Amino acid sequence: MPQPLHAIYEYYLTFFLKDKFCTVRDSSGKEETKTSSLVTFFTESQGCVYYQGSYVLFCVQFKSNGLFAIFGIPQKMLINSIIPIADILGNGYRLLNEQLGTSKDIFEMSKHMDKYLVQRLLSQNHNRHTANIANCSNLILSKKGNISLDNLAYNANMSCRNFERRFIDEIGMSPKLYSRIVRFYNAIENKMLHPEKAWTDITYEGGYYDQAHFIKEVKMFAAKSPQELFMNTPPPKEEFIEK
């Protein structure tokens, strides 16, 4: 079952722990195999990913400017990319991957990962704006993307121009685009959780002006109409095995 790679507002660091790989097919039909990778913010469709068989995965989810805060990498350099984890972690990748692969349970995995990430976080020299940007991005999430730039800048105690510049520096895109992607993602999630809901209800609950506005945004971020997105690539049904 193909899983659409539409626009997302979070980073995912995913470890494939049993030498498995997935296949990514872009809109042109080109296919690439991917293993342990950093999945970055997507501002447009990146095609579909295909999984086959059973997987053992460990995934770390980063919000807003978390990757910048921990690794010091300007996030605008990484937009719309799927990057091998080794390229991000460098020399620390081999040991961490081994520790995760030999852990007896998810709690031991989390312990190793937390230790590694805290060490990387403490090695960075953060400026005083990093926490403000994180708080404002959390506000965008809590409002499901329906908040004005003026309101965000006020909460950050910055001018609109300064806030937008800082936001782009740390998160990699403008607050307006980030808010649009959050709103789109929440609308799609709403439909996934409540498939019986009409698209008209999804549209207005998501804060869109009308259906034309919603359809335009879905085509922008998923390269398909809402109906096509769910007809051709429905939400995958994973079966999780407890150990």
User: What does the pLDDT read at residue 221?
Assistant: 96
The overall average pLDDT reported for the chain is 90
pLDDT of residue 74: 87
What integer pLDDT is reported at residue 103 of this predicted model?
A: 96
Q: What percent of the chain has pLDDT over 70?
A: 94
Q: Is the pLDDT of residue 2 over 90?
A: no
**In the chain, where are the structural domains located?**
2-122, 129-176, 184-232
Taking the C-alpha atoms of residue 113 and residue 107, their distance in angstroms, rounded to an integer, is 10
Supply the DSSP symbol for 234: P
Rounded CA-CA distance 73/169 in Å is 10
Q: DSSP 3-state helix, strand, coil percentages of the chain (rounded to 5)?
A: 50, 15, 35
Please tell me the distance from the alpha carbon of residue 158 to that of residue 135, in angstroms, as a whole number. 13
Tell the burial category of 192 from Cβ atoms under 10 Å away from its Cβ (0-12, 13-18, 19+): exposed
List beta partners, residue 15. 58
Is 126 a residue whose pLDDT tops 80? no
Q: Please state the pTM of the whole predicted model.
A: 0.88
pLDDT tens digits, 21-67: 889 998 788 899 999 999 999 999 999 998 887 888 999 999 889 99
**Residue 232: predicted pLDDT:** 58
> 39-53, 140-154, 166-180: which has the minimum mean pLDDT?
39-53
Average pLDDT over residues 185-195: 92
Does the pLDDT value for residue 231 go beyond 90? no
pLDDT at 129: 79
Summary count for the chain: helices (H), strands (E): 11, 8
- Tell me what pLDDT residue 233 has: 55
Higher pLDDT, 2 or 203: 203
Query: Domain 184-232: which CATH class?
Result: mainly alpha
> Could you give the C-alpha distances from 117 to 138, 184, 202, in angstroms and in order?
20, 30, 38
- Report d(CA 215, CA 108) in Å as an integer: 44
* pLDDT band at residue 242 under the 50/70/90 scheme: low
- What is the pLDDT, as a whole number, of residue 29? 85
Give the model confidence (pLDDT) of 61-86 as tens digits: 998 899 999 999 989 899 999 999 99
pLDDT above 90 (res 124):
no
